[in-house]
Structure 1
Amino acid sequence: MDFQVGTLKARKSYLQTLIADSLTIFWGDWLELRVRIAQVAASGLVSPLIYILAFGLGLGSSLPKPAVGDSYLEFILPGMAALSSMTISFGGTTFSICGDRLFAKTFEELLLVPVHPLALHMGKMLAGVVRGLMTSAAVVLVAAIFTGKVWSFLNPLFWLLLILNCAVFAGLGVIVGLKVRSLESVGLVNNFLIVPMSFLGATFFEPGTLPGFLKVVVYLLPLTYTSIGLRAAAYLPLSQFPWYSILVLFIVAIALSLYGAYLFSHQQD
């Protein structure tokens, strides 16, 4: 019994230390981020607003009523929130780490900090989550103005999915930031992964209507589960909510965190 109690206390102490160290790493990024809150919140609004105007108000007026939402504009608005959170969480995290590694040459100091590699990953990931939520909040505000359905976008499930989506792509941004050797490599990753996912991640269409092969490809993308979940959280009753979307995003975020911690523990620069 004493051994079990001691083990539980040791695990509790380890978890508290891990959380505290993660918040310490996050705080270093937050000190730089807080002076650019308006810039960060606005930076991810351009693409969603263009898509809303072009597809939601333009093309959408000639399309039939979708399966979810009262109009095509309502259909794509949750997808725009998912898209903006993905773009900023990934891009902001990647360029932050690349800037420290490749230009400021201050990344070595971070690697010398006596904290667990998982805390390093989680701290950087949390900063990416905050970046993504700032932009998502701006997109959600636009969505509430266009639809008038304010409470649909204040749904706790809606924001839980956004947080998980930010965690997934901020975690991916940490990994890419640790592995690339130049900013050109970041551009390649963005062009071959993030941009295609922006259009294939169920942001503009219902994946259930696709042919078999394409459906498999679309359901391999984490953004798909975010888009599906956000639409359900905003417009459908709780009984129709796809709970599997939360599970998938959580598992992907955990897997990326473990791999990111591994990379931090073996990082040489």
Structure 2
Amino acid sequence: MTRVTYRAIRVWQRDLDTFLRLWKTESWWPTIEPLLYLSSLGFGLGVYITRLSNGLSFLEFIAPAFVATTAMFAASFECMFSSFVRMEFQRTFDAILATPLTIEEVIAGEILWGMTRGVFAAVSVLFVISLFGLVHSPWALLTPLVAVVEGLMFASVAMIITAIVPAIDAFNYYITLGITPMFLFSAVFFPLDRLPQIAQTIAWVSPLTHAVYVQRSLILGQISWNLVWSVLWIAFLALIAFNVSLVLMRRRLIK
């Protein structure tokens, strides 16, 4: 496999330049969507829920989780729909490959940009929940670093899906069977100890569960060494997914 070099940054820079031209329409949703969730669930449903078993209010419990989930959605959608459009419809990849850049560098640049969108989304949500007084610890300043690892992982997985789907509509399978179950069963809306033991074990395999756990712990100031293991698990999955995505995208692009 061709080694990825610093030139992958040029692809990232190209995507950044495009984003900056469209930032007025591209940057608002990471803050608006969490506001809707916080309003409907936290201030709506949360009124009817007493303190959870861990002593937190429902709003305090779900708000930090949105830092992780929004990063997942942003990184995934960027490296699925946006990358697919650049690859198949706009033929941007073909144009870039006419330069000295390799396929692996193009894909690595795309993944780095997906990761960046994830970090931007996470920071945006962190800012929003801080306005509601839901950030309880200076450890929350580390959440962007966790979002880097999480964003890299989900962007890489999304690029794997992009490499194998026959058409853009096929992304719905991954969203329905992958992203949505993680969103619903990764301790975003309720503690995992409410689930049967087998379900808890399965849930802890999910990278989103670990991302939610780390972000919630940092924002609430619940620090332990278990956070390190969760970050390492996400990083391990990111390393595997990143390399697999390079192989599969090379196969697709050279057909």
Aligned to 2:74: 88
CA-CA distance at 1:110 after TM superposition:
3.6
Aligned to 1:217: 202
Q: In the aligned structure 1, how far is the partner of 2:92 from the partner of 2:14?
A: 12
Aligned to 1:55: 41
What secondary structure sits across from 1:202 in the alignment? coil
Q: In the aligned structure 2, how far is the partner of 1:87 from the partner of 1:26?
A: 19
Q: Aligned pair in 2 of structure 1 residues 110, 150: CA closer, same or farther (>3 Å)?
A: farther
Q: In the aligned structure 2, how far is the partner of 1:220 from the partner of 1:27?
A: 34
Aligned to 2:251: 266
* Correspondence 1:1-269 to 2 at 5 A: 18-66=4-52, 70-147=56-133, 149=135, 152=138, 154-156=140-142, 158-239=143-224, 242-267=227-252, 268=254
Q: In the aligned structure 1, how far is the partner of 2:137 from the partner of 2:108?
A: 31
Q: Does the CA-based 8 Å contact 2:137-2:221 persist in structure 1?
A: no
Q: Does the CA-based 8 Å contact 2:119-2:148 persist in structure 1?
A: yes
The structure richer in helix per residue is: 1
Q: Does the CA-based 8 Å contact 1:117-1:262 persist in structure 2?
A: no
CA-CA distance at 1:112 after TM superposition:
4.8
CA-CA distance at 1:211 after TM superposition:
0.7
Q: Aligned pair in 2 of structure 1 residues 41, 153: CA closer, same or farther (>3 Å)?
A: farther
CA-CA distance at 1:105 after TM superposition:
2.7
CA-CA distance at 1:152 after TM superposition:
4.0
Deviations 1:126-152 (A, max 9, x none): 111121222222211110011253754
Structure 2 residue ranges without an equivalent (≥5): none
Q: Aligned pair in 2 of structure 1 residues 239, 218: CA closer, same or farther (>3 Å)?
A: closer
Q: In the aligned structure 1, how far is the partner of 2:70 from the partner of 2:190?
A: 17
What secondary structure sits across from 1:34 in the alignment? helix
Q: Does the CA-based 8 Å contact 1:68-1:235 persist in structure 2?
A: no
Question: TM-score normalized by structure 2?
Answer: 0.88
Q: In the aligned structure 1, how far is the partner of 2:168 from the partner of 2:225?
A: 43
Question: TM-score normalized by structure 1?
Answer: 0.84
Q: In the aligned structure 2, how far is the partner of 1:67 from the partner of 1:168?
A: 31
Root mean square deviation of aligned Cα: 2.4
Q: In the aligned structure 2, how far is the partner of 1:251 from the partner of 1:141?
A: 28
CA-CA distance at 1:79 after TM superposition:
0.8
AA paired with 2:195?
A: L
Q: Does the CA-based 8 Å contact 1:197-1:223 persist in structure 2?
A: yes
Q: In the aligned structure 1, how far is the partner of 2:94 from the partner of 2:55?
A: 49
What secondary structure sits across from 2:115 in the alignment? helix
Q: In the aligned structure 1, how far is the partner of 2:195 from the partner of 2:136?
A: 31
CA-CA distance at 1:37 after TM superposition:
2.7
Structure 1 residue ranges without an equivalent (≥5): 1-13
Q: Does the CA-based 8 Å contact 2:75-2:118 persist in structure 1?
A: yes
Over alpha carbons, which structure has the higher Rg? 1
AA paired with 1:94?
A: M
Deviations 1:164-221 (A, max 9, x none): 1111111122222222121210122212211222111211122233211211221121
